[in-house]
Amino acid sequence: MNRKRHIFGPVPSRRLGFSLGVDIIPYKTCSFDCVYCQLGRTTNKTIQRRGYVPKQLIISELKDYLVEDRDKVDYITFSGSGEPTLNSKIGEMIGEIKQMTDIPIAVLTNGSLLFEVEVRDGLRNADLVLPSLDAVTQNIFERVNRPHEGLVTEKTIEGLKKFRKEFDNEIWLEVMLVKGINDDRGEVKRMADVISEINPDKIQLNTVVRPPCEPLAMPLSTSEMKEICKMLSEKAEIITPRARKALKAYEKDIEDEIVMLLKRRPCTIGDISNFLGIHRNEIIKYIEVLEEDKRVVKRGHGNQSYFVVSEDEMRSM
């Protein structure tokens, strides 16, 4: 089990196979505060780029990992507790990691800072960049992403177009759809036009499948997702749940540790993460599996989501 602070996983990812997460941002430091964010509310909403986590710390944790465990990883993925392009050293980190390993490097980004030339330059050595674009109209952008006040959707779109022109490797654009917020068919048509101008290699549609930050952030049905997928582009695809069978044995020990903990007391994702010393994003993946298996259930209390062991699981103990 990996107990490093800034490297987590590898976690099964619906888009990237087994992904080793690299977290270079303090918890919930982000330029957005998306209604669907599974990490909770943004506590430091900023567009200021800084060396939030030192490069040498990341490199040394990663070196240890690569010595211990390297053959399980499909991608080394910059993702985690906030927006990775806010770390001004991301480009140098990608460059050094490329010298250490031939595992492909992916970057998950909300795309909001791609209008800055330094951000685009920083990502140029990545093998794959997965930006998001959830709205092309300012008021919808504000409702779904609740961006920093310095951000406007035109600039995000302009940044994505420039990045497409300059970046030689693949760009997979993610669109997260939230019921009643950005699924208006007029907005979808406008988004289709913008996406065709951006011309990403893939367009991946997602909806709220994980415990979101706001209980009001609801998923679209499968038929609605299919309809929007057709409207958006021939290249669009719906992100499907990953193949569970292959992951089962791998996840079992940690799954059981989480269930044992929840048997003792209800916990938030943060509680489980702190108790087991495993990164929040990794815990979220296991909770997703445990919910699908009906071993744990979510309960809302105040504005927090707690997880408890299901009645079926209790009976089987």
Least gap, CB of 229 to ligand SF4 (angstroms)? 21
Q: Which stretch binds ligand SF4 (CB under 6 A): 36-44, 120-128, 136-144, 161-169?
A: 36-44
Q: What are phi and psi of 229, to 5 degrees?
A: -60, -45
**Rounded-to-integer distance, Cα 33 and Cα 277, Å:** 25
Least gap, CB of 30 to ligand SF4 (angstroms)? 3
Least gap, CB of 39 to ligand SF4 (angstroms)? 5
Q: Which stretch binds ligand SF4 (CB under 6 A): 34-42, 87-95, 158-166, 304-312?
A: 34-42
Least gap, CB of 143 to ligand SF4 (angstroms)? 13
Scanning the chain, the segments in alpha helix (DSSP H) are: 55-69, 90-100, 117-122, 138-145, 153-166, 185-198, 222-232, 245-264, 269-276, 280-292, 311-316
Our CB check for ligand SF4 shows the closer of 30 and 296 to be: 30
Scan residues 37-76 and list those touching ligand SF4 (CB under 6 A).
37, 39, 42
Least gap, CB of 109 to ligand SF4 (angstroms)? 8
Scan residues 77-116 and list those touching ligand SF4 (CB under 6 A).
82-83, 110
Q: Total binding residues for ligand SF4 by CB under 6 A?
A: 10
Scan residues 12-31 and list those touching ligand SF4 (CB under 6 A).
30
Residue 33 binds to ligand SF4 (criterion: CB under 6 A): yes
**Rounded-to-integer distance, Cα 224 and Cα 161, Å:** 28
Q: Are 55 and 93 in contact (CB under 8 A)?
A: yes
Least gap, CB of 108 to ligand SF4 (angstroms)? 8
**Got the DSSP string for 115-140?**
TSHHHHHHTTT-SEEEEB---SSHHH
Measured over the CA atoms of residue 218, residue 222, residue 227 and residue 233, the dihedral's sign is positive
SS3 9: strand
Report the DSSP beta bridge partners of residue 8: 21
Q: Are 97 and 105 in contact (CB under 8 A)?
A: yes
Q: Which residues bind ligand SF4 (CB under 6 A)?
A: 30, 32-34, 37, 39, 42, 82-83, 110
